[in-house]
Chain A
Amino acid sequence: MSQKTYTYYPGCSLQHGNHAYEVSNRAVAKALGFELAEIDDWNCCGATEYFSLNRLPAYALVARNLARAADGGATEVVAPCSACFLNLYKTDKHMKLYPKLNDQVNEALGAGNLSYKPGTLKVRHLLEMIITDVGFDMLKDRTRRPLYGLNFAPYYGCLIARPDNVLDSTEQPTLMDQMIEVLGAKATDFHLKTFCCGGHMTQISEETAYGMIHRIIKNAVDSGADAIVTICPMCQMNLDVYQGYANDMFGTKYEIPVMFFTQVIGLALGLSPRELGFGQEFVNMSGLIDKIQSSPPPKAKAARRPKEALPMPVMPE
């Protein structure tokens, strides 16, 4: 593959609290042979709140990033954070749908000698980009340390799945599940894969937030996962940083590492934990490496249904 360069919008979280994500994205990009070129002088996407506070400035704030990206001649922009992705995606889409909004936003951009024509950029999430453009075949091909024996709960979070279907399903997407299996590990049947992690609710109502965090952690552990895989810095932070608080509130003792999907890919590619930003997390993830087995574990036999049991519905092809 020739070295492809993607216009990249890292977002604020990756600069600070979730620096590990940035580190592993860069490492994986290098190993897989593509480049992430940061948009020059980008700004915050407004996160999840700004749109509910003051809509027009919120759109303008996001559109400034689109304008700067398009200015450099890009036709697509990649974001590793689901909130950033959604805001960029939504702004582009709404500017196209609502001509009046388009005019107003462009008037605001004009103050900084910028403009943006909706539809110029295809907004993509890093997960979708890697799966589509790099592809499963290449991932498999480049795997140096198959993650045999590891069980991952694929956690998509709520922002990428809705409202538009950018993955394969809004309710039960499976793209990351497939990716995990390609890397040699097992994706668990994790029912709450598109549930909300609570977002910034931790700052508003701890009780509500910890309830939401706890149910996801519990469901992941119940599904048999050794770790949760996330694709969004917000999700990772909530499940990792607040895991202890949620435990305290519910009297549980969960200790499940919460990884970024590029850290999982990186491990399989044979990169070192240091290269992937290990060690910045609250719930230690290094222990996972010792759990990797040298060969695929024997396929668990489907539990035999008792003789008197009724058949399960026959799944379609």
Chain B
Amino acid sequence: MSEQRVGVYVCHCGHNIAGTVDVEHVAEWSANLPNVVISRDNKFMCASTGQEQIEEDIKEFDLTHVVVASCSPHMHEKTFRNACARAGLNPYLFEMANIREHASWVHASDKDGATNKAKSLVSAAVHRVIHQEPLQPMQVDIRPETLVVGGGIAGIQTALEIADAGYHVYLVEREPSIGGHMAMFDKTFPTLDCSACILTPKMFDAGSHPHITLLSYSEVEQVDGYVGNFTVRVRRKARHVDEDLCTGCGSCWEKCPIKVIDTVFEAGLGSRKAIYRPFPQAVPKYPIIDVENCTYYKSGKCRMCEKVCPTEAIRFDQEDEILEVEVGNIVLATGFQLFDPRRIPNYGYGRLENVFTNLEFERLSNAAGPTEGKIVLRDGVTEPESVAIVHCVGSRDKNYNSHCSAICCMASLKFAHLVMEKTGAKVYNFYIDMRSISKGYEEFYHRIMEEGASFIRGKVSEITDAAHTPEEEGKLILVCEDTLIGRPRRVPVDMVILSAGLEPRADAQEVGYMFGAGCGDTGFFTERHPKLDPVATVTEGVFIAGACQGAKDIPDSVAQGAAAAARVLATISKKQVNLEPVRAEIDESRCSGCRICNNMCPYHAIDFIEADGVSRVNPALCKGCGTCVAACPSQVINGAHFTFDQLIAEIDGIMVDVTAGALEVV
């Protein structure tokens, strides 16, 4: 080995590290590690002065390798690799020791211990780095097509932005129509503009855009490939209607004799037919046949829709179609699902008929809903004289979801307004804390207070029909502790609206897994960085937008949709993307052809080459996970940047006795 010259930089990170770890001592101590020619500490290594220091030292001291001891590589590995590259050093000759997340933050109460651990980590990095070799990233072309999964407001926004820029989008939506939850609403806070009026033009644009292929009533089944070159298999569920012939005239669903309660679009409060279009402004306009409820699929009889269809578009024998599309980037915009309030039996939803969910109320209040916008009790006729709105149902509650659903305070205010405007009923809001944080929201809160809604600060412990007094007879009684007056209260009302929270979709985990996006502890998709990279995921080329990333309102969903589109457009216009050169390689001269690695590889990146009798890694598919490296019985697979030499050296380094004066491997 020719002469190695390592530079070590220990970061204070303000007080984040220096408050616990004796940074100066670590830097001094590190100067004595083998091959180290310069060791420094610095308040903020990531600042330009820190980076410039590295660049200058590389030139002045002729450094061959660099170690920075600071935060997680997720945070700043790129930063320092770039600094090295600017000074002419191959970026893979750099190594990072994480003495913040792995030392100062987790051992805040043990300064000596944290300092010793920091020394071990630096030593490990110094020992390892000299074995690192220059690597060149692989460049791949980016396909200009994009897949957007989920046609709610977030997905629609993403698709339109990309398509408007001239690139093709496949928009996959599970339901028969795009629109998502927003299509169900009557008005939207805080401006109270009609939800349909602002949404349907966008739906129409998405449905008719020359650059958007709308795959409604479809689902993604498989994803292969990598950034720039994904192959996606989509199942187009059979509508049983020929889209080329159907005009959406409506004769079929008018005449269909089977009525079904619509638990999706009408939130269970209204009905649809067995052949149906979820709502008049649906995009696309074609109906589908609900095979589970259609008489024809049960008894082979009826065929009413077929008889009345003027264009002969009904296709009872239509089958699912499988479509394969090639895309360069993917945006997940799969949204949320509503918390099921039956999980809180003391709120009586499902048992007490005049307890409604927020989504039910949206349909109740919607002019196109089952009551044509009349706010009435479950009997369908009686107008309530008093209404309670319960906030935080299933949110901010350790028994269910600890997160705040972000939109319920505002949606509850919206409900209060609509109830008072349409019925003149007395409205009570039961809240824990009011959260009206975005633009125009606090003003909206004040407006509703001035309109006369009552606010009771206390978590409702139960909703009951068990009356104590004659006045409570026949009413729903909300029991809570009013924390502002410090007394228990019982408030009798005619109607209760539960502001049920926003949850991750039940299948978020599986969907995330398919696309390589993880779910955090709340179950929503995890962004690459919570502050600095909120729409990317850990998988290159896979982005997230809208309520699938966390509970949020429409403005934030739209903003994220646009942000994800901008990220996609940026990679498309670069035309090429660099792939990490960290991947596995098989020494074919020593490969016995046992094929154990073929099946181990989670990315199907290893093929067996019959002609040569050996296995070979497809570098574009390999993600460098190391599974095959560990599995190979002949130990002939090398993981670049994670070689045996490097790992053994790292272990040697961490075994150095950091408390002794002498630097000996123990």
Q: By the criterion CB–CB under 8 Å, are B268 and A314 in contact?
A: yes
B466 and A192 contacting across the interface, CB-CB below 8 Å: yes
- B262, chain A: closest CB distance, angstroms: 9
B350 at the A interface (CB under 8 A):
yes
Supposing A172-B345, A191-B466, A315-B342 touch, asked if A308 and B379 sit within 8 A by C-beta, the answer is: yes
Contact between A215 and B261, CB atoms less than 8 A apart: no
Residue of A211, A311, A312 with highest tally of chain B CB at under 10 A: A311
Answer whether residue B381 sits at the interface, using C-beta atoms and an 8 A cutoff.
Answer: yes
* Contact in complex: B381, A313 (CB < 8 Å): no
> In the complex, are the beta carbons of B466 and A312 less than 8 A apart?
no
CB pair A218 B271 closer than 8 Å: no
**B205 smallest CB distance to A (angstroms):** 34
Judge whether B346 and A171 touch: CB under 8 Å. yes
- Interface-centre pick from B344, B364, B381 (highest chain A CB count, 10 A): B381
Q: Mark A303-316, 1 if CB is under 8 A from B, else 0.
A: 00010111111111
The answer to whether A169 touches B345 (Cβ under 8 A) is: yes
Knowing A172-B345, A189-B351, A312-B353, the reply to whether A306 touches B380 (Cβ < 8 A) is: yes
| Residues from 196 to 219 in A contacting B, C-beta threshold 8 Å | 211, 215, 218-219
- Provided the pairs A172-B345, A192-B466, A219-B466 are in contact, do residues A312 and B380 lie with their beta carbons within 8 angstroms? no
CB neighbors of A among B367-398 (8 A): 370-371, 376, 378-381
Asked, given contacts A189-B351, A218-B466, A311-B271, whether A306 binds B263 with beta carbons under 8 Å apart, the answer is no
Interface of B is mostly: loop
Contact of A313 among B349, B370, B371, B376 (CB under 8 A): B349
Interface size class of B (residues with CB under 8 A): 20 to 34
- A164 interface contact, C-beta 8 A: no
Chain A residues touching B, majority SS: loop
Residue in A192, A218, A311, A316 whose CB lies within 8 Å of B261: A311
Q: Does A107 contact B (CB under 8 A)?
A: no
Given the complex, which residues of A lie within 8 Å of B376, measured CB to CB? Answer: 310
In the assembly, what is the distance between CA of A48 and CA of B348, in Å?
Answer: 30
Within 8 Å by CB of A315, from B350, B360, B464, B465, lies B350
| Nearest B residue (CB) for A169 | B345
Query: How far apart are the CA atoms of A261 and B111 in the complex, in Å?
Result: 62
Q: Is A71 an interface residue (CB 8 A)?
A: no
Can you list 15 A-B pairs, Cβ within 8 angstroms, ordered by A?
A: A191-B351, A191-B464, A211-B468, A218-B467, A308-B380, A309-B378, A310-B269, A310-B364, A310-B378, A311-B261, A312-B350, A313-B268, A313-B342, A313-B349, A313-B350
Residues of A within 8 A of B349 (CB): 313
Task: Tell me how many residues of A have a C-beta within 8 Å of chain B.
Answer: 21
Q: How far is the CA of A146 from the CA of B449 in the complex (A)?
A: 59
Contacts of B351 in A (CB 8 A): 189, 191
Closest 8 CB pairs of A and B: A308-B380, A172-B345, A219-B466, A171-B345, A309-B380, A313-B350, A171-B346, A310-B378
Q: 13 other contacts beyond A171-B346, A310-B370, A316-B340, with CB at 8 A cut-off?
A: A172-B346, A191-B351, A218-B467, A219-B466, A308-B379, A308-B381, A309-B380, A311-B261, A312-B378, A313-B360, A314-B268, A315-B342, A316-B342
* Complexed CA–CA distance, A79 and B271 (Å): 51
Q: CA–CA, A66 to B67, complex, Å? A: 62
Residues from chain A with Cβ under 8 Å of B342 in the complex: 313, 315-316
Is the CB–CB distance between B379 and A309 below 8 Å?
yes
CA distance A3 to B290 in the complex (A): 56
Residues of chain B within 8 A of A218, CB atoms compared = 466-467
Residues of A contacting B348 in the complex (Cβ-Cβ under 8 angstroms): 191
Residues of A within 8 A of B261 (CB): 311, 314
The interface residues of chain B lying within 8 Å CB-to-CB of A49 are: none
CB of A222 within 8 Å of the partner chain: yes
Q: Provided the pairs A171-B345, A171-B346, A306-B380 are in contact, do residues A311 and B466 lie with their beta carbons within 8 angstroms? A: no
CB under 8 Å from chain A, chain B span 248-296: 261, 263, 268-271
A310-B464 in contact (CB<8A): no
Closest residue to A190 on the B side, CB-wise?
A: B466
Q: Smallest CB–CB gap between A219 and chain B, Å?
A: 4
Q: Give 1 or 0 for each of B454-475: 1 = CB within 8 Å of chain A CB.
A: 0000000000111110000000
CA distance A316 to B342 in the complex (A): 9
Interchain CB contact under 8 A, B379 and A306: yes
- Determine the chain A residues whose CB is within 8 A of the CB of B468 once the complex forms: 211, 215
Interface residues of A in 272-317 (CB under 8 A from B): 306, 308-316
Closest-by-CB residue of A relative to B262 is A311
- Residues of chain B with a CB closer than 8 A to A189's CB: 351
Shortest CB-to-CB span from A153 to chain B, Å, is 12
Inside 8 A of B270's CB, which chain A residues have their CB? Answer: 310-311
Question: Which residue from chain A places its CB closest to the CB of B347 in the assembled complex?
Answer: A171
Complex CA–CA separation, A216 to B270 (angstroms) = 36
Expressed in whole angstroms, the minimum distance between the Cβ of A304 and any Cβ of chain B is 13
| Cα(A211)–Cα(B360), bound, Å | 36
Q: Which residues of B contact A314 (CB under 8 A)?
A: 261, 263, 268
Query: A309: which B residues are within 8 A, CB to CB?
Result: 378-380
A170 CB to nearest B CB, Å: 9
Provide the residues of chain A in CB contact with B271, threshold 8 Å: 311
Nearest-neighbour CB distance to chain B for A214, whole angstroms, equals 8
A211 neighbours in B (Cβ, 8 Å): 468
Q: Which residues of A contact B340 (CB under 8 A)?
A: 316
Contact A310 to B465, CB < 8 A, known contacts A315-B350, A316-B342: no
In Å, the complex CA distance between A312 and B269 comes to 7
B451 → chain A, closest Cβ, in Å? 26
Nearest A-chain residue to B355, judged by Cβ: A313
Q: Which residues of B contact A169 (CB under 8 A)?
A: 345
User: What residue in chain B is nearest A311 (Cβ atoms)?
Assistant: B261
List, in ascending order, chain B residues with CB within 8 A of A308's CB.
379-381
Known: A189-B351, A211-B468, A215-B466. A311 touches B268 (CB 8 A): yes
Cα(A218)–Cα(B472), bound, Å: 13
> How far apart are A251's CB and chain B's nearest CB, in angstroms?
11
Compute how far the CA of A189 lies from the CA of B342 in the bound complex, rounded to whole angstroms.
Answer: 16
B376 CB to nearest chain A CB (Å)? 8
Do residues A310 and B371 form an inter-chain contact, with CB atoms below 8 A? yes
**Most B CB within 10 A of own CB, among A222, A311, A312, A313:** A313
CB distance from A247 to the nearest CB of B (A): 15
A314 to B271, CA, bound (A): 12
Interfacial residues of chain A within 155-174, with CB under 8 A of chain B in the complex: 169, 171-172
